[in-house]
Amino acid sequence: MPVIADTAVLRPLASPSALYVYHFSAPQPPIRPIEIRKSPTSPTGLFNPGLCGGVAPHNPGTFQIPVDSSQETSGGGRMVFASRILKIHHHPTPTRGHTMKFVRRPDLDSQTRIHIVMLAWLHQGVYGKMTEIANAYRISRTFLYQLLLMANLQLETLFSDEKLLFQKDHYHLDQLLFLLRLEGKCSLLSIASILKALEYHPNSVGSLSQCFHRAGQTLPSTLVIPSKKWVFYLSEEIFAIHAPILVTLDARSTTILNIALASDRSADIWSAHFEALEEHQFFSLGMASDRGLGLVAGYQAACDMALWVTDYFHEFRDLFAVLHQLERKAYAAIGQEDDAAHKFARAKSEANLAKRLHQYDTAHHVCEQAMALYDQCAMLLHLLREAVQLCSPQGRLRTVENVRSELSLLFDMIAALDCAAITHALKPIRQHIDDIVVPFKQAEAIAAELRAVVPHDACDFLVLAWYHDHLVYQSGAKPKRSHQKERDFWLACAAGLLGNAFATLKALVFDKLDSIVRASSLVEMVNALLRPYLNSCKGQITQEALNLIMFYHNHRRYKSGKRQGKAPIELLTGKPMEAPWWELLRQQVHTEQGVTAPGPWPTRPPLQLVTNNDGGTDQQVLASGQAIIAPTGAAERERRHKDSKAA
């Protein structure tokens, strides 16, 4: 049914036609053109001033419709506009993305913000008051509500019994995170679950990852020391999926000097690795490592005059692997002989007995040969292990010529064994005999130095005591007790000869002998240290994570072994640490980040967003948390308005 609208009253029309008439009986307001944003496309139909008979003003986007204008509708009727002029505004489709710019307000200090929050608090629920306060202080209502939310949160935390840990005590949260990640070797998912169970916030994996990433960024990948230090390198390549991790330790203190995630294992990469150590005041006495081509070539390029020692573990590994193969074959031959004996016992007929007896004789012969080969190989390898020990059973340090002659004889005897696998494994070892005897050159020099200070008999006793003391930490329970007894016996013998000088000379002998490096097996400790982290992150480890692990290893105290109670950095520098490793790490992180307030998550840098100003006027960059909303596109509309006037 047709209706007519008079102001706010709707009533039906008497006319039965399909004409819809909108009658406005209100007083006519003055007509003022309104500047609006021009539509990207030309309007059509009723909203086209040309079609409606209107006159388009010079300002784009603003037009008027005369009083007596009309337009046919799609249903055949007519739309009549009576008694007033309608102003049509074209509102463009809002753009996506950042449609507003924000600036900061240095004039709103903390006291002013408190006053704003107080006013907003007093007028909560009063219609229009929030807008009035926002307009009065030229701030956005969004920011005003954020202030209210933060004030409520702070008051609830202040007056509640249960406080969030990160708000109450940042220090203990730092400790918890570092201990869980480094000491407990927990994955990020596990740490997040623990924090959620304890109701600590923030507890998301992303927040934890950013926390540890920032902490790792503040730590160096190469150890920094105040003065020059001569060290013996232990270097190794550890793999995280396809990316190599280059590691170098100090042989005496086991301190990680440099750990880096590299692109490859080439000689140039390793050379740069050792040059970085030299730039940080570390100078090489020598290096022990395996025979990695890039590793050895890079070290010789960076430290051409230093000593290189081949690692005994990697050198003889293939030979001892053959011994395990011979052991398995011997046990298999024993099983076959036993099976042949059971078959012979079950035979009944004379022909079957003769057949089974022949099979048993054959199996017995094969078994005897396998066991004899294994026994001979095991005995020779045991003699080989004894030949590369630093001292003889009489306590004399071995010389290069003695070791070379013993090794050559043992190699000939091993090669005489009827085993192709042994011959194949022995061939490269013969070629490396000059590298194998390198540590004994250092032993000869130390022996001459010690015998000039310590009486010869007492020196032999102390060498034997050092030898058994060295084996105490490498043996099981029963051999350990035996070596402890031997060590104590030879120390007692030396003490009886040296008297009051015993303690000083014992420390001298032990220190000199500890400086001899024959293997890089200590670096495998770092491999064992990294492996849980590599497994938890599926090999996707970052340099920042490696920096954290390096700091933890260097500053944690050993819980057992001959270094028990000492941290690697203490053994390297000779100075005790002033605090536990987690406290030192926390101090290091916050010192580098410049954070005065405690907490693992440093405050975000202040935003520096300014209003869009094409006129060239410098906007004030603000540093507090205040923001004012400024509509985008104001300068663009002004430019278009000037262009239209010029046209």
- Predicted pLDDT of residue 493: 94
Residue 253 lies in a domain: yes
The pLDDT of residue 529 is above 60: yes
Q: Give domain status of residue 367, yes or no.
A: yes
Residue 279 shares a structural domain with residue 317: no
User: Which range has the worst mean pLDDT, 136-140, 334-338, 534-538, 593-597?
Assistant: 593-597
| CA torsion, ordered 318, 320, 325, 329, to nearest 10 deg | 150
* Judgement on whether residues 327 and 446 belong to the same structural domain of the protein: yes
Residue 494 belongs to what domain range?
454-518
Same domain, 511 and 525: no
User: Is a pLDDT exceeding 60 seen at residue 361?
Assistant: yes
pLDDT in tens, 192-215: 999 999 888 788 999 999 999 999
The verdict on residue 166 lying in a domain is no
223: in domain: no
Q: Render pLDDT for 411-433 as a digit per residue (tens, 0 to 9).
A: 999 999 988 999 999 999 999 99
475 and 427 within one domain = no
| Contact assessment for residue 280 and residue 260, using Cβ atoms and an 8 Å cutoff | no
What's the total number of domains in the chain?
4
What is the spatial distance between Cα 37 and Cα 368, in angstroms, rounded to a whole number? Answer: 102
Q: Are residues 291 and 342 in the same domain?
A: no
Phi and psi at residue 523, to the nearest 5° = -70, -20
Asked if residue 137 is part of any domain, the answer here is no
Angle subtended at Cα 340 by Cα 339 and Cα 341, rounded to the nearest 5 degrees:
90
Cβ neighbours, 10 Å, residue 606: 12
Judgement on whether residues 341 and 441 belong to the same structural domain of the protein:
yes
Q: How far apart are CA 164 and CA 184, in angstroms?
A: 23
Distance in angstroms (rounded) separating the CA atoms of residues 339 and 70:
113
Last residue of a domain, one of 93, 124, 155: 93
Domain CATH number, residue 283: 3.30.420.10
Beta carbons of 575 and 200 less than 8 angstroms apart: no
Give the least confident one: 35-39, 99-103, 585-589. Answer: 35-39
Q: Is 248 helix (H, G, I), strand (E, B) or coil?
A: strand
- Nearest CA to 554 out of 218, 131, 219, 245 is that of 219
- The predicted model gives 519-529 an average pLDDT of 81
State whether 255 and 351 are in the same domain.
no
pLDDT at position 101 is 61
Per-residue model confidence (pLDDT) at position 95: 56
Residues 349 and 417 in one domain: yes
pLDDT for the residue numbered 11: 41
One domain, residues 278 and 380: no
Residue 417: what are its φ and ψ, rounded to 5°? Answer: -65, 140
Q: Which residue, 93, 112, 142, sits at the end of a domain?
A: 93
The verdict on residue 354 lying in a domain is yes
Same domain, 27 and 86: yes
Tokens at residue 538, please?
């599926």
Q: Is the dihedral of CA 148, 150, 153, 159 positive or negative?
A: negative
pLDDT, average across residues 241-255? 91
Mean pLDDT of 42-47: 40
Residues in the chain: 647
Q: Where do we find the tokens 């009063």?
A: 126
pLDDT 10s digits, 220-239: 999 999 899 999 999 999 98
610 within domain boundaries = no
Query: Do the domain assignments include residue 205?
Result: no
Rounded to 5°, the CA angle 363-367-370 comes to 140
Band (pLDDT 50/70/90 cuts) for residue 51 is very low
> Are 337 and 443 part of one and the same domain?
yes
Confidence of residue 92 (pLDDT cuts 50, 70, 90): low
Separation between Cα atoms, residue 157 and residue 163, nearest integer Å: 6
Mean pLDDT of the chain: 78
Last residue of a domain, one of 44, 63, 93: 93
Instruction: Let me know whether 246 and 337 are in one domain.
Output: no
- Does the structure show a pLDDT above 80 at 532? yes
